[in-house]
Amino acid sequence: MKYLIIGNGVAGTEASLIIKKNNENADITIIDSEKHLFYYRPRLIDHLAGKIDDDKIIAHKQSIYDNNNINIIKNTEVVNIDIKNKIVICDDNTTYKYDKLLIATGASPLIPSVELEDNHGVFEFRDIEDSHKIREFCTENKGEYAIIGGGLLGIETANAIMQLGCDVRIIEFYNRILPRQLDEETSNLLEKKLSDKGIKFNLNCSVDKIETIHEENSIKKRIVLKNGESIVVNGIIFSTGICPKIELFKQIGILTNRGVIVNEFMETNIKDIYAAGDIAEFNSIIYGLWLPSKKQGEIAGENMSGNNKKFESIPMETRLKVTGINLFSVGDFNKKFEEIKTYDNGESFKKYFINNKKLEAAIIIGDNKLPLIVGKVLNGREPLESLYKLE
């Protein structure tokens, strides 16, 4: 049986290895648009900061594919899919037949509509090539940089830029940072900690336009905010979320919304076509996180090779480690809770959100061991009281 996987990120890679484990004679081909082998995307921040080189971020060397007899085709775009005849067409006019197809193409950076004079000193940050470009530019142009977006990646990027010897500020549309991952109190606490480390903030702001300033020995950017304020910086990095690459799949009849819609078996509405990772939308959720993508890839691989495994919703977890600050959060903080317990001893901060005497969400700052126990409580493997005993 021929298995074809579009995308060599964590979802596609995990699926290929599961298929091979279940069927050592499986004919597996992976087509990927990047020129690099599968790499550990969460470590891109360390790569940007100059802590690791390309060889340290690559997760699977060529030998992994060779030893498993997996055909990997790099730097190639899929431009069409003939669903009736089960054929994939690539940008170099090559074609590949399949019996089972997995879509694991990931997502692109979501860039807001902004009037932009030119692209000099303006970056997005999604892959190794972006990391190289930003690092080189910051190294050659020391000064202040603006990160557009105060989410998880925006904060991590700001920290990495500081480690390159530059000043940094975060411009965020909402009135606080990490609005989806933290409640208001903890968001404000984290902002204070990051401000003390040297990160500047412009909150409740949106960008109207970006102008280019030609100085005698340099080119800078003027960010004009919609409130009329202007900020001059050496460069700008957009970190405003992701957008699944659905255009091709929508055109050929695969059901899409924000992403490619899948059921609990990672199946799309088209027989023998599956989706997993940042491209997949399950129960109206696009996780955009490493671990759920990995799990979805595993489930897709199991079911493509004849098993009957279900993907179950995973609590949204956030882990942030910047400038000596360790933060963990899990759950949805936008709903009402019967009880909220807060513990702050100066060294660590803990907040538990409870309904019906069950833990539904938690925030931990400064305690690296507690997230493991929180996970067990959420899964029902430990009683809620086990958290209180630690205080």
Angstrom distances, CA of residue 47 to CA of 10, 51, 54, 110, 199:
18, 6, 8, 22, 20
230: containing domain: 115-238
The whole-number pLDDT of residue 391 equals 65
Last residue of some domain: 214, 238, 262?
238
Distance, CA of 5 to CA of 359 (rounded, Å): 39
Domain assignment present for residue 95? The answer is yes
Q: Calculate the CA 182 to chain-centre distance.
A: 17
Q: Is the pTM of this model over 0.85?
A: yes
Residues 125 and 39 in one domain: no
Contact status, residue 365 vs residue 371, Cβ threshold 8 Å: no
Contact status, residue 229 vs residue 216, Cβ threshold 8 Å: no
114 token code pair = 């902004």
Distance, CA of 330 to CA of 319 (rounded, Å): 9
Residues 78 and 33 in one domain: yes
314 token code pair = 């995973």
Please measure the distance between the N-terminal and C-terminal CA atoms of the chain and give it in whole angstroms: 56
Domain assignment present for residue 316? The answer is no
CATH of residue 381's domain is 3.30.390.30
The whole-number pLDDT of residue 156 equals 96
The whole-number pLDDT of residue 388 equals 76
pLDDT tens series, the chain, 391 aa: 999 999 999 999 999 999 999 999 999 999 999 998 999 998 999 999 999 999 899 988 899 899 999 999 999 999 999 999 999 999 999 999 999 999 999 999 999 889 998 999 999 999 999 999 999 999 999 999 999 999 999 999 999 999 999 999 999 999 999 988 999 999 999 999 999 999 999 999 999 999 999 988 899 999 999 999 999 999 999 999 999 999 999 999 999 999 999 999 999 999 999 999 999 999 999 999 999 999 999 999 999 999 999 999 888 889 998 878 999 999 988 889 999 999 998 889 999 999 999 999 999 999 988 999 999 999 889 899 888 766 6
Residues 126 and 220 in one domain: yes
Contact status, residue 138 vs residue 233, Cβ threshold 8 Å: no
Last residue of some domain: 304, 327, 344?
304
Q: Calculate the CA 34 to chain-centre distance.
A: 17
Label residues 354-371 b or e (16+ Cβ within 10 Å = b): beeeebbbbbbbbbeebb
| Amino acid at residue number 254 | I
**Torsion over CA of 142, 109, 178 and 294, rounded to 10 degrees?**
-120
Contact status, residue 37 vs residue 129, Cβ threshold 8 Å: no
Question: What's the total number of domains in the chain?
Answer: 3
194 token code pair = 């990051």
Residues 259 and 218 in one domain: no
Contact status, residue 77 vs residue 96, Cβ threshold 8 Å: no
Q: How does DSSP assign 86-117, residue by residue?
A: TEEEETTS-EEE-SEEEE---EEE-----EES
Helix (H, G, I), strand (E, B) or coil at 165: coil
371 token code pair = 């997230």
Domain assignment present for residue 221? The answer is yes
The whole-number pLDDT of residue 390 equals 65
Residues 18 and 65 in one domain: yes
Residues 152 and 210 in one domain: yes
Residues 72 and 122 in one domain: no
The whole-number pLDDT of residue 385 equals 87
Residues 145 and 249 in one domain: no
The whole-number pLDDT of residue 151 equals 92
